[in-house]
Structure 1
Amino acid sequence: MTASKLYPASVIKEIDRQYSQDYDISSFQLMKLAARRVVEVILTRYGDTKRAQVFCGSGNNAGDGFLVAAGLADRGWLVQVALVGDPEKLTEASRDALAVCQNSQAIVEAFEGAVLDRAILVDALLGLGVHGQIRSAYRSAITAINASSSAVVAVDLPSGLQPDSGEVGAVCVRAAITVTFLALKIGLFSQDGPDYAGEIILADLGLPDILLAKHADKALRILEAPRLPARQNKAHKGHFGHLLVVGGNTGFGGAGLLASEAALRSGAGLVSVVSREGHRSGFLARCPEVMFRGVNETDDITDLLGRVQAVVLGPGLGQDAWAQNLFRQVIAAGKPLVLDADGLNLLAQAPAALVDCIITPHPLEAARLLRRDQVDPDRLAVACQLQSEYGAVVVLKGAATLVASDTGIAINVLGGPAMATAGMGDVLSGLLGALLAQGQPLSRAAELGVAHHGRAAQMATAQQGEVGLLARDVARHVGRSLSGMTL
C-alpha cells in the first residue's frame, strides 16, 4: 500500500464511471482486471489450498466474485459459488461474469448455510453496495463466514463495513486480506475498519494518475511523520520557544503534568505551567525542568502570557471560577493556542470564533461544541462544521484522528488501540503546543503532532505490548519519533 490519500465512496464511484467512459473500458473489463488481481493474491498467499468458496450477492461486487471463481477453477481449484443475492437483479456486466463462471468448472448454487471445509472463503457479497440494514440472507451468509476458521479474502471492501465511516452494524465480514480497487477507501482505516479489513492490498486496475488527481480535493491526505530538521550546533533553548501550559485544577494535576512533560519531550526550549499551588511539589518532584506558578481564583497571569510563544489551555482545567478566570485571560491574550479538554467545554458555553488556535475535541466534546445532544457518526461532516464555525484548526480525536484546516482534511493511520487510556489527550496537547512554540504554523503543527503522537505510541507499544500502555510511556517516545528514530 503506497497511496497517500483516502477517498469517499461517492468519489470512487465517479472515478470508476469516468475511467469507463473516458478510456473506453467497460464495467465487465474492469471486473476482469479486478478478479485477475484477487486471483493473483489468493494464489500467492494460499496457493496450496486448492479449494475456495466464493460468496456472491447481486451487485457489481458479485460480478468480481464470479470471475474470481472462474479464474481459480481454470487453475484446477475446487470452487463453489454460494449465491446469496437474487440473480434476476444482477447488472448486465455481472450477468456476463456469471455466464463466464457457469462455463467454467466452478459449481454455482444458492447458499443454504453450509461453508466449504478447508477452503479459502471469498467475500463478494456487498462491497461498496452496503446501504442501511443488511438483509437477512446476507446476515446469515456473513455470520457463517465469520464462524468458519478458514482464511477470508474480501473483494474491495468487507461486506457490512461502511465505506466512509468505517463503522459496522449488526454483522460484518472479518477478512484476513482485503483487495480493494482503484483507490483506498476511508472506511478501511477508520473506526472498525482495521479490525475487519485485515491486510489491505490496493489494486489500481491501471487507473491513470490524472483521474485521481482530478478528485484529489475530495480525498483525505494520509498524515506522515517526518523528522524535524536537525538542530544547528550553536542552538540554545531560546531558539525553540517558550510554552505555557494552563491547567491542573484540584484533583487533576496529572493532566497538566503530562502535557508539560510531553512538551519538553517534543523539543520546547522552555515550559512554564500555571496550576493550583497544591500541585507544586508534585511537579517539581516529577518534572523539575518545568517552571511552576501556583495561582488562585483572582490571580493575573498576563505578565507570563506576554513572555511565551504559545499556550496549551485545558488539561485538567475544570470549569469553576478558577478555571474561568484563566480561560478569559488566555483567550484575551491572542497567543497561538491549543485548546483541549475543559477549555473546550468552557468554549462550548460561550461559542466564539478563534484566531491562531488548534482545538482537540473527542466526539462528545465535538457534540457539545456543535450544541448537539448526541455524537454524530459522520466524523468528516463534524470536523468540517467545527472548522467552519470556530475558524480553528480541528483535531477530531478517535480511531483515525482527523485534522481539518483551510487546506482540507487529513487522516491519521498511525497509533492503535493501546492508546485507549487516560492521559493520551494531555500528551497530544503538550506535543501540539511545543510545535507551535517552535514556530510551526497551525495546520502543520496539528498534522505533525497528531502523526508523531501515533508513531510514538507505536514505538512504545513495540517495547511493552498493547495492554497497560501509559500516556507517559508515549511521552517518553515523542522525542525519538520527532528525531526520526526507527521503531
Structure 2
Amino acid sequence: MCNIPSEIYPSSVVRDIDNYAIYNMEISTYDLMLEAGKTIHRFIHEYFPSIKKIVLFCGVGNNGGDGFVLARLLMESGLNVIVVKIEPINGYPEAAEKALSLYLRSGGHVLTFEGDVDFLAKLNADLYIDAILGLGVSRSVTGLYLEAINYLNSLDSPILSIDIPSGLNSDTGMPMKTAVRADITLVLVALKQGLFLGSAADYVGKIFFESLNITKKVYDNFKPSLKMMDASILPAILPKRLASSHKGSHGTLLIVGGDENMGGAVSLAAESALRSGIGMVKIATHPKNRDFILRKIPEVLCYGIVKRKQLEPLLGGINAIVLGPGLGKSIWSKELYDIAINSNVPLVVDADALSFLSKAKQKRNNWILTPHPGEAGMLLDTNSESIQSDRVNSISRISKNYGGVVVLKGHNTLVMKDKDKFPKVCRYGNPGMATAGMGDLLAGMIGSFLAQKISLTDASLAGVMIHALAGDSASKEGEKGMIPSDLIPYIRKLVD
C-alpha cells in the first residue's frame, strides 16, 4: 500500500481527478475499476492471509462495481465468496454493469438483498466487504440500504469499507442517518475530506490508501481542501539551544487565568509550557490560588492579582501571553481579560477568554485562538453541532472574522491562518484525551513555543502535533483513566 499523502480533497474534486485521469491517461472507467479490484484483492491477501470466506455487499454506482471486480478476483484465487447485491433503482453504470457481467460469467453467484436479515445471519463470513455506497451520499440513508448497513454494524467479524464507509458524507464526515462502522477503510485515488472531519473517526477505522497508479502530474492539476500535518517537520520548527544560552534566551511566558478555585487550569498550562522549553513562566491568577500553584510548580513566578493595576506591570518583558485557562466569567475575570487582550504582546486566547472575545468581535494578526467546537460556535453565533457538521468552513470563517491563527480543537484538530488557502489537519491523538484539562496543556505548549519566537503558525502546528503524539504515547498504558498530567513526561521527550 502507498504511504498516505498529505493532500485531502472534497468529493467534487475527487470526481474531477477520476475524470481527468481517465481522459489524460487514456484509460476507461472500467480499467480504473479493474485496477481498484486488483489493489483491494492484493490488500486482502496481505492483511487477512488466513481468511476463507468473504461476503461482499455491493450497491449502486462504481463503488458496487469495484466490489464485483473484487468478488471475481477473490473467487478465482480460491476463496469462498458470496455477493449480496442491493438492487439500484435506475440500474448500474456501464462499467459496474460490465464488472457484474464478468463476475457472473466466471461462475459467480449473486444474492439479492430484499430485507431478509435472518437469511444474512446464516452467511457467517470471516470478512465482510462494504461496497454499498460511495461518494454520492448527500441525504439520509433509507430502505434496504439502511437495513444492510445496520446489519453490518451488528456483526462481530471485521468489515473492510472500499473508499469510504457507506452512509458517511464524504465532505462533512457526518453519517447520513447511519454509516458502516468499518474496521478498515481502503481509500482509492484521493483522500476524501469527510474521512477526517465530523464524526468520521467513529466509522472509518484504520485508513489505508492506494492511488491506483494515477500519476503525480494528474494530482498537480487540483487544489486540496485540507492538508495533513507531518510530524517529521518538528525538528525544523523547534528552536535549538546554544551552549551559551540562559533562561532569557528561551522566552518568557505570562499565563493569565485561574479565578477562585480554578487554579488547576493555569497550573497545567504552566507545567506544559515549562516542559516545552520555555525559559520562564509567570502566572497572574486569583490570590487564593497562589500557594497551591507554588507548592505544585515551584519553578514559576506566581502573582496573586486583586486589582487590574497589579497586572499591568507584568506585561513588560514578556514574549507571549496565554489568556483564558480557568479565567472564569466574573467581574475580576473581565478586568484581567481587558488588560491582556488590549496589550500588543502576542496572545494565545483560550477557554473563557473566547467567551469574552465572542462578544467583542475583535480582529488582530498576532494572536492564536484555540476554540473547541462549543467555543467556535460562540465565535460564529451558532452551536457546536453546526461547527462539527462543517469544520472546514467553520475554521475558515473564524480565521477570516478574527484574524491570526485558529486552532479548531477536536478529533483531527484543524489549524488555519487568516489568508491560508486551506487548513491543516492532525491525524494524531486518541479518545483518551477527551478529558478536562487537555486544552489547558495545549494552550500552555502553544504559548511556550510562541514565546520562544516561533511563528504563530508553526507554534500552533508544533503544539497540536506534540500534544497529540504525547497523548498517543500515554495511551499505550490505556485510554480510559488518562489525565492531562500523564502527557507531561512525553511532552518533554518530544521537544528534545
Instruction: Give the TM-score normalised by structure 2.
Output: 0.93
Give distance in 2, aligned partners of 1:394 and 1:298: 28
Letter in 1 for 2:162: V
Aligned length: 482
Counterpart of 2:485? 472
1:263/1:434 contact within 8 Å kept: yes
RMSD: 1.7
Letter in 2 for 1:385: R
Matched, 1:166 2:173: yes
Counterpart of 2:424? 410
SS at match of 1:129: coil
- Bigger Cα displacement from structure 2, 29-38 vs 114-123: 114-123
Q: Deviations over 1:336-372 (max 9, x none)?
A: 1000011100011111112300000111111111112
Choose the corresponding residue for 1:453, options 460, 463, 467.
Answer: 467
Query: In the superposition, relative to structure 1, how do residues 373 and 129 fare at CA in structure 2: closer, same or farther (>3 Å)?
Result: closer
Q: Deviations over 1:15-50 (max 9, x none)?
A: 111111222221111100001111111222334433
Counterpart of 2:290? 280
Give distance in 1, aligned partners of 2:90 and 2:304: 74
Give distance in 2, aligned partners of 1:88 and 1:310: 61
Give distance in 2, aligned partners of 1:476 and 1:274: 25
Q: Which runs of 4+ in 1 moved over 4 A?
A: none
- Bigger Cα displacement from structure 2, 353-362 vs 229-238: 229-238
Counterpart of 1:427? 441
1:153/1:176 contact within 8 Å kept: yes
Choose the corresponding residue for 1:440, options 436, 443, 454.
Answer: 454
Letter in 1 for 2:178: V
Counterpart of 2:151? 144
Give distance in 2, aligned partners of 1:221 and 1:155: 21
Letter in 2 for 1:299: K
Matched, 1:398 2:420: no
SS at match of 1:299: helix
Letter in 2 for 1:282: F
Give distance in 2, aligned partners of 1:107 and 1:243: 68
Where do 5+ consecutive residues of structure 1 fail to align? none
Identity %: 36
- Bigger Cα displacement from structure 2, 56-65 vs 145-154: 145-154
SS at match of 1:201: strand
1:344-363 correspondence to structure 2 within 5 Å: 344-363=354-373
Instruction: Give the TM-score normalised by structure 1.
Output: 0.95
Shift of 1:437: 0.4
1:37-436 correspondence to structure 2 within 5 Å: 37-86=39-88, 88-111=90-113, 112-113=116-117, 114-115=119-120, 116-224=123-231, 226-227=234-235, 228-373=238-383, 375-376=385-386, 377-405=389-417, 406-407=419-420, 408-436=422-450
Q: Deviations over 1:118-171 (max 9, x none)?
A: 342111000212221002101111122222332222111111222233222443
1:383/1:396 contact within 8 Å kept: yes
Give distance in 1, aligned partners of 2:365 and 2:157: 54
Counterpart of 1:26? 28
Shift of 1:75: 1.7
Give distance in 1, aligned partners of 2:333 and 2:230: 34
SS at match of 2:135: helix
- Bigger Cα displacement from structure 2, 160-169 vs 18-27: 160-169
Q: Deviations over 1:394-447 (max 9, x none)?
A: 000111110011333100111110100010011100000000000000011111
1:359/1:395 contact within 8 Å kept: yes
